[in-house]
Structure 1
Amino acid sequence: MIFGIGTDMIEINRVVKACERKTFLTKIYTEQEQKLLLSDIRKAASNFAVKEAVVKMFGTGFRAIAPNEIEVLRDNLGKPYVNLYGNAEILAKEHNVERIHVSITNTKELVSAYVIGEIIRE
C-alpha cells in the first residue's frame, strides 16, 4: 500500500555552488554521500531533490527531519536508493514505511526526483 508520494525539482547549478561551502556539505549530506559526490558533484543536486521529495512524502518538510538523516546512494547499476537515520527512520517505523522507491531525472540545468513510500505490512 502507498503511504505517500513526494516530488521535487531543483536547479543543478544552485546546489553545486552551495557545495563549495564545507558547512553545507556536512549539514546536508552523509559521509557516504560526500564520497559519492567526489566522482560527480552534480549528484549533489539529485540527492538534494530526493531528500526534499522524501520529506514531502512524509508531509513534514525539514521541520522534523534533518537533511543528513536521509541518505541517497546508488546500487551497482546506478539505481538510487534511500537509507534513513535518526528522526527519518523513527518516522518511517511509526508509519510502517518499509520501502521508498526513488526515480531521478535531469536535464542540463534541472533535476527532478520522485519518491513513493510503501507500506509492506500494517
Structure 2
Amino acid sequence: MIYGIGTDICDIRRVAKSLERHGERFAEKVLAEGELITWRARSARWPARGLRFLATRFSAKEAFSKAIGMGMVMPMTWRSCEVIKLPSGQPSLVLHGELKTWFEQRGLRAHLTITDESDYAASFCVVEKTSPP
C-alpha cells in the first residue's frame, strides 16, 4: 500500500549560488557523512560533477520528506537521510537515528529515483507500507 509520494526539481544554479554564499557549510548541512566524502572527492576532480551530486542529494531528500508527509521537521533532517548507490547503480536511502526508528516503526519502505540534466536535478520517491504498525 502506498503511504506517500514525493517529487522535487532543483535548479542546480541555485545550489551553486548557495555553495558560493555559504561555502562548504552548505554541503555539510545537507549531506550525511558518507555523502560528504563522495562530494569532496568528486568536487576535487571535477567541480561541476560535485555540484550535480549535491543538487541530486538535495532534491532526493526533499522528495523523500514530501513522501513521508513531514517536510524538514523532526525527526526528518538533512543529515539523517542518506542517499546511497547500490551495486546495480540504483539509488537508495539509508536512514539514521530518530528518523530510522520512526520509519521502521511504521513498517515503511522507500523507492527512489534521481536524475540530473544540465541545469536541473529531479527526484521522485514512493514510500510504501510493508507491514502493519
TM-score w.r.t. structure 1 length?
0.89
What amino acid maps onto 2:37 in structure 1? K
Aligned-partner Cα distance in 2 for 1:96–1:59: 15
**For 1:83, which of 94, 97, 103 is the aligned residue?**
94
**For 1:93, which of 94, 104, 109 is the aligned residue?**
104
What's 1:3 paired with?
Answer: 3
Aligned-partner Cα distance in 1 for 2:104–2:19: 31
What amino acid maps onto 2:67 in structure 1? M
TM-score w.r.t. structure 2 length?
0.82
**For 2:33, which of 31, 34, 51 is the aligned residue?**
31
What are structure 2's unaligned runs of at least 5 residues? 43-48
Give the structure with higher Rg (CA): 2
Matched-pair identity in %: 30
Partner SS for 1:62: coil
What's 2:16 paired with?
Answer: 16
Question: How big is the alpha-carbon RMSD for the aligned residues of Structure 1 and Structure 2?
Answer: 1.5
What are structure 1's unaligned runs of at least 5 residues? none
| Superposition deviation, residue 74 in structure 1 | 1.0
Aligned-partner Cα distance in 2 for 1:105–1:33: 16
Corresponding residue pairs, total: 121
4+ residue runs over 6 A deviation: none
